[in-house]
Amino acid sequence: MTGEAFWKRLAVITLAVLTLFLSERVLRDYLFSATVPRAVVPREDLGPDEKRNARIFQSVAPSVVSISTQQGQRRFDSQVGGSGSGFVWDAAGHVVTNDHVVANASEIAVVFEDGRAIPASLVGTAPWADLAVLKLSVVPPDLKPIKVGSSHDLVVGQAVLAIGNPFGLSHTLTTGIISALDRQLPTQSGRIVTGVVQTDAAINPGNSGGPLVDTAERLIGVNTAIIAPSGTFAGVGFAIPVDTVNRIVPALIKDGRAPLPGIGIGVVAEEIAKQAGIQGIVVASVQRGSAAEAAGLQGLSARGELGDVIVEAEGEPVSNVAELSLILERVGIGNKARLTAAREGREREVTVTVQDINDR
């Protein structure tokens, strides 16, 4: 076969192959292109967890609201869903949210699932627990107060669900588990909330003040914070425990304020005490007329010399204010707490009456 004949035959074969390839593509497009709506494939029944989540959302969502605020002359937050979340507490029109959601607000509006926006007034706040109670100006007859659970019997690993308005996206459901219990969370007031619930259910800006619920559709916490350098969810969220909420909210509704158990002392920062090798709560100052003064506790002298260091409360070792506050809450305002205090190398037991130190 000459060279010319070879190249002619190769060209013919190549042309034939291209023709077959193009014809196959044209034929396939003609036969298989979906030029009409596709047939719907029947879905199998939802799984047990899916059914449970859907049921819980349908039941709890009507109790969840978004909170829009106005500060000074600024207009209400223009984002859909507002600046935070909240939930209906009772049939009288009280709504619970975070204190930081409504702090410094000149006007507040509560937006329901169906889009109704109702002005609300501030009834009272507990900044040390990051809680606030609002009152609707008009009380709809179809209000659905949230079911209330307990936080003392929660366990790590149990399923939880969060409903709120992250990034202004109204009534968003996220799911997860309780990742840890008894966390401590500092608030903008400078105090520490104890017994905080940690969860991996996604909590983002806008979820603040919304409910964390269990699979029995009960409130077990109020979502309040995340730990994330970027400001968005990174797997760690926190909720104020419902036992704390259920103690503070009724007091705010009744009196506009909530009692804060204490004994009337100022303390040296825990980090400074540790650096100095001191174990316990270093009393820096004692308020005049306080229970601590009546019990004979002493703070630092004018020359900076140590006074009392509280090392135990009710027989339990304490190393910071958060631990002491938790014990004082258990003892209760008006009751007496047993403290062990060290001064000049000697320990002694003192009895202090727990008092209300809320000066707001």
Instruction: Name the residues annotated as catalytic.
Output: 100, 130, 208
How far is the C-alpha of 322 from the C-alpha of 330, rounded, in Å?
Answer: 13
How far is the C-alpha of 192 from the C-alpha of 318, rounded, in Å?
Answer: 15
Which residue bears the tokens 């006007």? 107
- In eight-state DSSP terms, residue 292 is H
Which residue bears the tokens 């009392």? 308
How far is the C-alpha of 326 from the C-alpha of 349, rounded, in Å?
Answer: 19
How far is the C-alpha of 258 from the C-alpha of 126, rounded, in Å?
Answer: 7
Structure tokens at 47: 């799984």
Q: Residue 318: CB partners within 8 Å, gap ≥ 6?
A: 280, 281, 310, 311, 312, 324, 327
Contact 310, 323 (CB under 8 A): no
Q: Residue 156: CB partners within 8 Å, gap ≥ 6?
A: 177, 178, 179, 180, 181
How far is the C-alpha of 110 from the C-alpha of 253, rounded, in Å?
Answer: 17
Structure tokens at 201: 């259910």
Which residue bears the tokens 């042309």? 15
How far is the C-alpha of 163 from the C-alpha of 202, rounded, in Å?
Answer: 10
Q: Identify which of 297, 287, 291, 294 has the alpha carbon closest to the alpha carbon of residue 263.
A: 291
H or E element in which residue 197 lies: strand 192-199
Task: Count Cβ neighbours within 10 Å for each residue of 104-114 and write b for 16 or more, e otherwise.
Answer: ebeebbbbbee
